[in-house]
């Protein structure tokens, strides 16, 4: 526990950097909504109207997504960060993924709020926020671990400042990623069986009057 606290303290600047990068991505994604053309806005509105109608009617098909699909999506993201952390050239890729994750969330929430006002915000709070309040910290921890390991490789292999065997840091890196993967499975369970029920509760508020 003491070593974990010390590691967290040592990595605090990295956590701050990754968090700021993610928040910049959220802001950028929200601003992207204003760059949509009228045709793109109409296409998105049509898709969302169909999505909300399907939710309201309780239809099967693409929604709710299966546990396997949701877990696979999150685990692929986690795995990509882990793989990028194994190489020197993967370091920028980790930062790009964190920024892109922020863009996706910012765009989704920004569009819902811009299109549906407070009802869109309510839908975002039940469909986007719950799992991402857990997923984002997990991805941030994995990102910081990946960046730390990548920097360790740079220092020990490229700069020739050998400070010991790579075995222990690598084992810690794998161990943390496995724990985070288990957490992702738990979050995916919530997203599979709880989130759709909350979405179905809010969906009727966003439907056009003619669809009710």
pLDDT of 159 above 80: no
pLDDT of 207 above 70: yes
Dist CA 140 CA 137 (whole Å): 5
pLDDT score recorded for residue 175: 94
pLDDT of 211 above 90: no
pLDDT of 60 above 70: no
Domain ranges of the chain: 2-59+68-207
pLDDT score recorded for residue 63: 46
Mean per-residue pLDDT of the chain: 88
pLDDT of 61 above 50: no
Q: For residue 183, what are the contacts with CB-CB under 8 A and spacing of at least 6?
A: 134, 138
For the whole model, what pTM was predicted?
0.89
Among 70-74, 121-125, 157-161, the range scoring the smallest mean pLDDT is: 157-161
pLDDT digits (tens, 9 = 90+) for 32-50: 999 999 899 889 989 998 8
More confident residue, 197 or 164: 197
Dist CA 179 CA 195 (whole Å): 23
pLDDT score recorded for residue 62: 46
Average pLDDT over residues 102-107: 97
Share of the chain above pLDDT 70, in %: 87
Average pLDDT over residues 163-171: 80
pLDDT of 20 above 70: yes
Of the chain, the end-to-end C-alpha distance in Å amounts to: 55
Among 20-24, 52-56, 104-108, 172-176, the range scoring the smallest mean pLDDT is: 52-56
Burial 8-47 (b: 16+ CB within 10 A, else e): eeebeebeebbbebbeebbebbbeebeeeeeeeeeeeeee
The position carrying tokens 């508020």 is: 205
pLDDT digits (tens, 9 = 90+) for 66-93: 899 999 999 999 999 999 999 888 999 9
pLDDT of 2 above 70: no
């Amino acid at each position: 526990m003491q070593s974990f606290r010390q590691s967290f303290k040592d990595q605090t600047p990295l956590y701050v950097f990754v968090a700021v990068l993610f928040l910049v991505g959220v802001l950028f994604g929200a601003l992207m909504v204003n760059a949509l053309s009228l045709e793109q806005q109409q296409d998105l509105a049509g898709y969302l109207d169909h999505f909300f109608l399907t939710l309201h009617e309780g239809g099967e098909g693409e929604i709710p997504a299966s546990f396997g699909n949701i877990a696979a999506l999150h685990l692929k993201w986690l795995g990509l960060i882990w793989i990028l952390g194994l190489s020197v050239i993967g370091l920028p890729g980790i930062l790009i993924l964190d920024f892109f994750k922020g863009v996706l969330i910012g765009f989704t929430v920004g569009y819902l709020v811009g299109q549906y006002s407070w009802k869109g915000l309510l839908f975002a709070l039940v469909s986007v926020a719950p799992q991402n309040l857990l997923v984002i910290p997990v991805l941030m921890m994995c990102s910081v671990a990946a960046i730390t390991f990548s920097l360790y490789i740079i220092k020990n292999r490229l700069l020739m400042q050998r400070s010991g065997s790579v075995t222990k840091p690598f084992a810690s890196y794998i161990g943390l990623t496995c724990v985070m993967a288990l957490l992702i499975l738990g979050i995916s369970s919530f997203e599979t069986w709880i989130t759709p029920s909350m979405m179905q509760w809010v969906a009727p508020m966003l439907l056009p009057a003619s669809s009710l």
